[in-house]
Amino acid sequence: MTDPLIAAAAAARAHAFAPYSQFAVGAALEAADGRIFPGCNVESASYGLTICAERNALFRAVCEGARSFLRVAVVTDTEKPTPPCGACRQLLWEFAPDAEVLLANLRGDVVKYTVGELIPGAFDQQQLTARRG
């Protein structure tokens, strides 16, 4: 994996805690200033407390002061690269609507999208502030 963002996501995947699903995921976000923020999924026996790799990376980045992102990479050990879940797509839309999304697997396959392509008709702040006519 030559892309440093995909490499960071793959390295984060190695630290995933997925004893229930056995589905380890790594993600990494590239901020506009060039910093890379990795994250992995962390599962809980109380499934609702589980955090996805993409949100883990995003929350870490926000905690470090990043607010603008250019790219996100997601790495899984699947036959075909796996896209983010709906919750992760929503948060990526709110923080990085124009970001490139690199979906990769351990075989080296990479598929590219934009966040907008992954969540058409997204809900965001505009709907919250729209006035009824």
Measured CA to CA, the distance from residue 80 to residue 111 in angstroms comes to: 9
The SS3 call for residue 35 is: coil
12 Cβ partners below 8 Å, 6+ apart?
A: 26, 27, 28, 38, 39, 40, 53, 57, 75
Beta strands at 100-105 and 69-76: parallel, antiparallel or unpaired: parallel
Measured CA to CA, the distance from residue 42 to residue 49 in angstroms comes to: 9
Question: Considering 30, 43, 54, 64, which one is annotated as catalytic?
Answer: 54
Residue 54 bears catalytic tag: yes
Give the residue numbers annotated as catalytic, written as ranges. Answer: 54
